């Protein structure tokens, strides 16, 4: 698309030929052509189509000064795409090179066995083969993650196009109505885009998706319910950073669908994604507002008093937070019912999950308050442990984990 953006003005000719030589007309064609390469359910597809139609309309009343706008848009898109594509190309070459190396080592290994070479030599080649295989998998993950990262920048490209449309209004007073109409359509597409991104507030995500339970929470929980409850160290054992980064960007790019492909079925990766999503919420699930209330509950003298105080504080939570907390803690309770396999008691789960469910606002005057952080972490551990162990006390009814997903 960027390569097709024109860099010069058209000659003075008859109206039809002049319109076709105008930069906006060519941009309109390029945008429409680019949209054909995208799935029709992608917001960028509709933005490109909408913008293409606008550009052809603006071509009828364009002036030479519009070229300045074109150059700014070209430059912004180029900065995004050149960097990402160059990195993707480099990673692709690395994968191809390692794949060739792996094939060569495999041939050597087979030849050594066939020629009955010394066992030490065969073992040495086998070790090389295994090391190369590990390196190949890592490079494939890095390559895939980089491609998903580019796809996940769709909203950046959309906003770039929107800014381009906004600039046209300064130069085309006669086309102002068309520009505003197009801009409104693009804005509607942006606002209706599913916000399942990491770092998006829970309320924004639920509102944009018309959901009661966060999509990422439900996806992770359902996958672990089906294929993870017996996994030893579930939610405690981590995963390779490349695996975590790949799945995160795949989710942001809306590439992950159920049932999960084999690339995304590792329970430890899914568990790490769940913790990462909770940790990257702008506000913890138990909220900043009620942080002090929750911490004070631990100061009660008996467990029954603590439980009563925690329950009273839970009832103050916003409905979205309460519903998602109820759903999540029911899953954590289910994990403890399989403790003989996964070795994850409520105490162990509280240790690994509590830092992702409640934390204090950063104290700008005392950012390194280590003892305060330790004390609050200990208190939150107790709260989460109680919620898991006594789920039926804090919450009513039962939970169907498969709210929108199917088994």
Q: How many structural domains compose the chain? A: 2
Quick one: 182 and 208 in the same domain? Answer: no
Quick one: 25 and 135 in the same domain? Answer: yes
Tokens of 211: 């959901």
Quick check: is 227 in a domain?
Answer: yes
157-200 pLDDT, tens per residue?
777 777 777 776 766 677 788 888 888 888 887 776 665 578 88
Q: How confident is the model at residue 6 (pLDDT cuts 50, 70, 90)?
A: very low
CATH of the domain at 258: 1.10.555.10
Quick one: 156 and 216 in the same domain? Answer: no
45-96 pLDDT, tens per residue?
888 888 988 888 888 777 454 555 556 776 777 777 777 888 888 999 999 9
Quick one: 243 and 358 in the same domain? Answer: yes
So what's the pLDDT on residue 7? Answer: 47
C-alpha of 229 from chain center: 24
For residues 24-43, give the mean pLDDT. Answer: 84
Question: Percent of the chain beyond pLDDT 90?
Answer: 45
For residues 13-33, give the mean pLDDT. Answer: 80
Quick one: 163 and 27 in the same domain? Answer: yes
Quick check: is 197 in a domain?
Answer: no
- Is residue 366 predicted with pLDDT exceeding 70? no
Quick one: 246 and 280 in the same domain? Answer: yes
Cα dihedral across residues 94, 95, 96, 102: positive or negative: positive
Question: Distance (Å, rounded) from C-alpha 369 to C-alpha 60?
Answer: 64
- Is residue 18 predicted with pLDDT exceeding 80? no
User: Which residues constitute the domain of residue 295?
Assistant: 202-394
- Is residue 310 predicted with pLDDT exceeding 60? yes
So what's the pLDDT on residue 2? Answer: 52
**Backbone phi, psi, residue 401, to 5°:** -65, -30
Nearest to 7 by CA among 78, 67, 73: 67
224-281 pLDDT, tens per residue?
999 999 999 999 998 999 999 999 988 887 777 777 778 788 999 999 999 999 999 9
Q: What is the dihedral of CA 59, 64, 69, 72, to 10 degrees?
A: 120
Contact present, 183 and 166 (Cβ < 8 Å): yes
Contact present, 218 and 401 (Cβ < 8 Å): yes
Quick one: 223 and 88 in the same domain? Answer: no
CATH of the domain at 20: 1.20.1270.60
For residues 350-363, give the mean pLDDT. Answer: 91
Rounded mean pLDDT of the chain?
A: 84
pTM over 0.75: no
So what's the pLDDT on residue 158? Answer: 78
For residues 210-232, give the mean pLDDT. Answer: 93
């Amino acid at each position: 698309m960027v390569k097709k953006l024109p860099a010069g003005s058209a000659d003075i000719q008859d109206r039809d030929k002049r319109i076709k030589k105008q930069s906006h007309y060519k941009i309109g064609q390029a945008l429409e052509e680019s949209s054909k390469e995208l799935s029709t359910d992608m917001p960028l597809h509709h933005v490109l189509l909408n913008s293409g139609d606008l550009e052809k309309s603006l071509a009828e009343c364009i002036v030479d000064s519009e070229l300045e706008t074109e150059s700014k848009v070209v430059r912004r898109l180029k900065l995004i795409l050149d960097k990402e594509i160059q990195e993707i190309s480099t990673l692709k070459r690395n994968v191809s090179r390692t794949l060739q190396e792996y094939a060569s080592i495999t041939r050597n290994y087979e030849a050594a066995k066939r020629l009955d070479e010394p066992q030490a030599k065969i073992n040495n080649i086998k070790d090389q083969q295994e090391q190369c295989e590990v390196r190949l998998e890592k490079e494939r993950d890095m390559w895939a993650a980089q491609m998903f990262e580019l796809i996940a920048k769709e909203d950046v490209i959309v906003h770039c196009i929107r800014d381009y449309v906004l600039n046209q209004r300064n130069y085309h007073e006669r086309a102002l109505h068309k520009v505003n109409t197009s801009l409104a359509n693009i804005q509607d597409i942006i606002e209706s885009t599913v916000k399942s991104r990491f770092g998006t507030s829970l309320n924004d995500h639920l509102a944009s998706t018309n959901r009661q339970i966060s999509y990422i929470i439900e996806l992770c929980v359902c996958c672990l319910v089906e294929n993870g409850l017996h996994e030893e160290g579930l939610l405690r054992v981590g995963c390779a950073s490349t695996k975590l980064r790949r799945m995160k960007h795949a989710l942001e790019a809306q590439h992950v669908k159920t049932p999960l492909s084999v690339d995304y079925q590792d329970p430890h990766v899914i568990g790490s994604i769940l913790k990462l999503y909770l940790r990257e919420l702008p506000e913890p699930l138990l909220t900043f507002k009620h942080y002090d209330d929750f911490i004070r509950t631990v100061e009660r003298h008996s467990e029954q008093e603590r439980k009563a105080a925690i329950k009273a504080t839970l009832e103050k939570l916003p409905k979205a937070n309460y519903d998602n907390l109820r759903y999540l803690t029911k899953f954590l309770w289910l994990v403890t019912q399989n403790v003989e396999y996964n070795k994850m008691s409520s105490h162990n789960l509280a240790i690994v999950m509590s830092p992702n469910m409640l934390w204090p606002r950063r104290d700008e005057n005392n950012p390194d308050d280590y003892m305060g952080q330790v004390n609050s972490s200990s208190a939150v551990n107790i709260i989460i442990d109680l919620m898991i162990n006594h789920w039926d006390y804090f919450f009513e009814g039962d939970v169907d984990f498969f709210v929108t997903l199917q088994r």
